[in-house]
Amino acid sequence: MNQNQSYKPTEAELEILQVLWQNGPSTVRFVHDVLSETKDAGYTTTLKLMQIMAEKGILEADKSSKSHVFKPLMSEESTQQRLLDRFLDTTFRGSASKLVMQALGSQHTSKEEIDEIRNLLDKLEGGNK
């Protein structure tokens, strides 16, 4: 299914994807154990959600062993970009500068973070000349 190129995962799906992106292909048991460290989730709920995600084309299940191993079919980077685009459009009417000003104005930004931002801006300006 090619829908995953534009699909925006739910919060629960995103939590599962994050475990898989961080740890690589994993069993339902492993994903469930990781999720259980921070939230109260039943094993059967995690299993069902991962099965549904496989049906949607978000995950792929390797059924060659007794414990199915799931891997994500969506890259972390492209998913982050789609979610950021949606957030930017819905929250800041598509204005990246409003987003940056809000983020920098609402919490302490370290010198290292400011230097990273400055380097990124220098690269962007260099690319536009």
pLDDT tens string 11-50: 999 999 999 999 999 999 999 999 999 998 899 999 999 9
> pLDDT tens across 63-101, in order?
888 889 999 998 989 888 888 888 888 888 888 888 888
Q: What is the pTM of this model?
A: 0.70
Q: Give helix 43-56 / helix 11-23 axis angle, nearest 10°.
A: 90
Q: Which CATH number among 1.10.20.140, 3.40.50.300, 1.10.10.10, 1.10.357.10 corresponds to the domain 11-72? A: 1.10.10.10
pLDDT of 6 reads 65
Question: Pairing state of beta strands 26-27 and 69-72?
Answer: antiparallel
Tokens standing for residue 76: 């972390």
Average pLDDT across the chain, whole number: 87
